Chain A
Amino acid sequence: MSPSSLRKSVEAVLSRRLLSDGGMAGRLGGPLHIDSTAWGVLALRASGGAHEVIEQLCTVLVREQHGDGRVCMNRANPASFWPTPLAVLAWQNSIASQAAQSRAVHFLLSTTGVHFPKQPTDPSAHDPNLKGWPWIEDTHSWVEPTALCVMALRVVGHGQHDRVREALRMILDRQLPHGGWNVGNTLVFGRELYPMPESTGAALVGLAGEVDQKQVARSIDYLQGEVDRLRTPISLGWSLLGLSAWDRWPANGLALVERCLANQGRYGGYDTSSLCLVALGALAGDSNAYSPLIQRRHSRPTSVAAAS
């Protein structure tokens, strides 16, 4: 698979999931999924997809936005606002979506998870007081939604905002002592928990360009050690993005993507968001190409202190 054939196949695959009334199906033949629609925009942008299609998808995201700026999995469930940073990223460069994007940015900057001071008896090692963003309203902040919000707010020029700087400290605080991240727990009752490729990849994209490489060296090592064995799209997609953000995209990256795509027969077909994610990971192999998620400025001195 060459990068150009990859771009064509991304467009072809996603075109079959476009819904007649706008938006992207969560699965082939399935109903609208908001996160899939946002991921679809990002994948189509990275692959040079048709402007009209991208704008149509952006319009659907605007249509589904709540009055306070949040974008949720469905309108009946306003607590599930985790697609909001995806929508902010999708709306970037869409002139017609600027007002919606501003509302979503305002929502993110005024929203956080449930946080509380660390108690001496707390069995969890991480600092629960460092603010990031949750998956779901009124819950704790976790690594992947926080990393996505960092990416989104950075893209719209809020990279130096206090919330983003604190979120970067929060992500660093959740890094496992031996490298890598999981959903966001480090040690519980004194035992270090296991890292996960998808969380590690997302965290590394969020931190790229913001912290010194030494601060994440063990995590990069962990991901480089894992990537060859990954066969599933979410793990592989985020891992390729995370490694690309630190100029470590593997030489066999496209072969890994091909193997992952070939596994669809075994799993019954991938959902649209997963396909978009692995496509973005594949396209990130071209370090000169546009990536809607990655900031490649990681050689500058650190501006974020490591959490103690």
Chain B
Amino acid sequence: MSDSTDQRSVNGLTRRQLLLAGAVGVAMGSGLLLVPKRLFRVPQHADTFVAKVADYQLDIADAITRGIRELGVRPEELRGKRILLKPNLVETASGAPHINTHPLVLRGAIEAFLRLGASAVMVAEGPGHRRDTLAVYEESGLADVLTEDRIPFHDLNYITGYDLPNAGRQSRLKTLTFPGLFQEVDWIVSVAKMKTHHWAGVTLSMKNLFGVMPGIYYGWPKNVLHHAGIENSILDINATLKPHFAIVDGIVGMEGDGPIMGDPKKVGVLVMGRNLAAVDATCCRIMGVDPYQVSYLERADNWLGPISERAIEQRGDLIASVRTNFNLIEAIPAHRGLRLT
């Protein structure tokens, strides 16, 4: 996360923001309660990078390397660092590889981070729907790739955790328990899949982090987070963990009844950035989804990162050149009203 996202104090507002809110509140009188809190936040800025990658056989490592460089990541930020890549491995089904982050995107990310000086790269995941993490690892095709590349894989569901105070304070959870492995790495990278989601609207780099919460403490599915509120939990995890980078696999995404039963959607893009809220907002626009209508992104705006198009400097390919409207299902409440007009 950028420094600007660390200004947060009590209940998401800095002193300056509180003063601003107070002044505006006086001006607006009783109408204050009706105005979204995000309007009183100090505007943030972030960069995202969009790379056209038509299919998984192309040079993904090159696209990611280019993205990392164009996003201004300095060599010393990666040199000698240990990088943990967190894919989106949920479950597997015959004929449905679009459920999970494609293994070749992970191979590309591994190669890119090593090329840029990282001392070690590992992949780690704690699937929410499968008790048998190794089965998802095997059946998704990721085991073949990582075995060949001699890259370690860790099952986050079964790692003893450490507690951090819940910095987001959106849910009732006082602390969040993260895998102990996270204390041994320098960068955490969300390598997500571009999908619609029947509870959250969309699942991208922020929602992907549900999978870091160990199943031994959060269950299968990660039901503790559901009971605490999916959107609250997305915000809490991101605010507390402060992941360093995101890569979203939109080469083939999922539309319709995601995150499991949806249809493949070929978009041909990778989206990257240091700020996960900005990356997800950019993905939304590519999917034909209004990020301000995705509740957790709207709440994250100018707190965890910017989601306004004007506040996000777009690098690489233009959104308009890759926009492909994802099918939304009217019968799914979380999809209603999402379409970007």
* Chain A residues close to B by CB (< 8 Å): 26, 31, 35, 73-74, 76-77, 79-80, 82, 114, 123, 134-136, 138-140, 142, 144, 182-183, 188-191, 193-194, 196-199, 230-235, 266-268, 271, 274
Contact partners of B260 in chain A: CB under 8 A = 193-194
Instruction: Identify 27 residue pairs between A and B in the complex whose beta-carbon atoms are under 8 Å apart, listed by A's number.
Output: A26-B158, A26-B160, A31-B160, A77-B161, A79-B224, A134-B219, A134-B223, A135-B223, A136-B217, A136-B218, A136-B219, A138-B227, A139-B227, A142-B219, A142-B220, A183-B131, A183-B220, A189-B198, A197-B132, A232-B132, A232-B138, A233-B132, A234-B131, A235-B132, A266-B147, A267-B137, A274-B134
Which one of B163, B216, B218, B261 has the greatest number of beta carbons of chain A within 10 Å?
Answer: B216
How many Å lie between the Cα of A114 and that of B227 in the bound state? 9
Shortest beta-carbon distance, A50 to chain B, in Å?
A: 27
Chain B hits for A199, CB < 8 A? 131
Nearest-CB residue, chain B, relative to A121: B333
Q: Select A135's contact among B137, B220, B329, beta carbons within 8 Å.
A: B220
Across the interface, do A77 and B131 meet the contact criterion of CB distance under 8 Å?
no
Other A-B contacts than A123-B332, A138-B224, A139-B226, 12 sampled, CB-CB below 8 A, are A73-B216, A76-B163, A77-B217, A136-B217, A138-B227, A140-B223, A142-B223, A183-B221, A188-B198, A189-B331, A196-B131, A234-B135
Residue among B137, B220, B329 with the most chain A CB within 10 A? B220
Partner of B132 from the list A80, A82, A198 (CB cut-off 8 Å) is A198
A249 to B260, CA, bound (A): 31
Give the distance to chain B from A193, nearest Cβ to Cβ, in Å.
Answer: 7
In the complex the two chains form, what is the Cα distance from A267 to B331 in whole Å? 42
Is B130's beta carbon under 8 Å from chain A?
A: yes
B152 contacts partner chain A, Cβ-Cβ < 8 Å: yes
Cα separation A196 to B139 with both chains bound (whole Å)? 12
Using CB atoms and an 8 Å cutoff, list the residues of chain B in contact with chain A: 91, 93, 129-132, 134-135, 137-138, 143, 147, 152-153, 155, 158, 160-161, 163, 177, 198, 215-221, 223-224, 226-227, 257, 260-261, 329, 331-332
Contacts of B130 in A (CB 8 A): 183, 196, 198
Q: Which of A82, A193, A194, A198 has the most CB of B within 10 A?
A: A194
The answer to whether A191 touches B261 (Cβ under 8 A) is yes
A-B pairs under 8 A by CB, number: 107
A35 vs B132: C-alpha distance when bound (angstroms): 15
Enumerate the 8 nearest inter-chain pairs by beta-carbon distance, A residue then B residue, closest first.
A135-B219, A139-B223, A234-B132, A232-B134, A191-B261, A136-B219, A232-B135, A235-B132
* Contact assessment for A194 and B93 in the assembled complex, using a CB-CB cutoff below 8 Å: yes
Residue contact A189 to B329, C-beta cutoff 8 Å: yes
Q: In the docked arrangement, what's the CA distance between A300 and B93, Å?
A: 35
The reply to whether A266 and B221 form a contact with Cβ atoms under 8 Å apart is: no
Task: Tell me the complex Cα distance, A282–B215, Å.
Answer: 26
Q: Cα distance A191–B93 when bound, in Å?
A: 14
A225 to chain B, nearest CB (A): 12
Flag if A189 contacts B257 (CB, 8 Å): yes
Q: Given A139-B224, A266-B143, is A235 in contact with B219 using a C-beta cutoff of 8 Å? A: no
Tell me which residues across on chain B come within 8 A of A193, comparing CB atoms. 260-261
CB-CB under 8 A from B135, the residues of chain A are: 197-198, 230-232, 234-235
A267-B261 CB under 8 A given contacts A135-B223, A138-B227, A231-B138 = no
- Name the A residues within 8 Å of B129 (CB-CB): 182-183, 196
Assess the B138–A77 pair: CB atoms within 8 A. no
The residues of A that contact B138 with a CB separation of less than 8 Å are 231-232
Q: Given the complex of chains A and B, what is the CA–CA distance between A182 and B131 in angstroms?
A: 10
Which residues does chain B contribute within 8 Å of A135, judged by CB atoms?
215, 219-220, 223
Contacts of B220 in A (CB 8 A): 135, 142, 144, 183
With a CB–CB cut-off of 8 A, which chain A residues contact B158? 26, 271
Q: How far is the CA of A134 from the CA of B221 in the complex (A)?
A: 10
Q: Which residue of A lies closest to B130 (CB)?
A: A196
Looking at the assembled complex, report how far the CB atom of B190 sits from the nearest CB atom of chain A, in whole angstroms: 23
Q: A38 to nearest B CB, angstroms? A: 13
Nearest opposing residue in chain A for B261, CB measure: A191
Task: Establish whether residues B261 and A144, one from each chain, have CB atoms under 8 Å apart when the complex forms.
Answer: no
Name the B residues within 8 Å of A190 (CB-CB): 331
Whole-angstrom CA separation of A142 from B260 in the bound complex: 19
Contact (Cβ within 8 A) A80 B216: yes
Do residues A234 and B261 form an inter-chain contact, with CB atoms below 8 A? no
Bound together, the chains give a CA A239 to CA B269 distance in angstroms of 39
Give Cα A75 to B137, complex, Å. Answer: 30
Is A196 in contact with B91, judged by CB distance below 8 angstroms?
A: yes
Rounded to whole Å, the gap between the CB of B26 and the closest CB of chain A is 42
Q: Which of B160, B161, B198 has most A Cβ within 10 Å? A: B160
Neighbouring B residues of A138 by C-beta, 8 Å: 224, 227
For A233, list chain B residues within 8 Å (CB): 132, 134
- CB-CB < 8 A to B331: which residues of A? 189-190
CB distance from A296 to the nearest CB of B (A): 24
Q: How far is A135 from B218 in the complex, measured between Cα atoms in Å?
A: 8
CB distance from A133 to the nearest CB of B (A): 11
For B257, the chain A residues whose CB sits under 8 A away are: 189, 191
Q: How far is the CA of A138 from the CA of B217 in the complex (A)?
A: 12
Q: How far is the CB of B267 from chain A (nearest CB, A)?
A: 23
Picked from B93, B143, B163, B224, the residue with its CB within 8 Å of the CB of A136 is B224
With a cutoff of 8 Å between Cβ atoms, the chain B residues found around residue A80 in the complex are 216-217
A74 touches B160 (CB 8 A): yes
- Most interface-central of A135, A138, A182 (chain B CB within 10 A): A135
Beta-carbon contact of B219 and A189 below 8 Å: no
When the two chains form their complex, are residues A267 and B134 in contact, meaning their CB atoms are under 8 A apart? Answer: yes
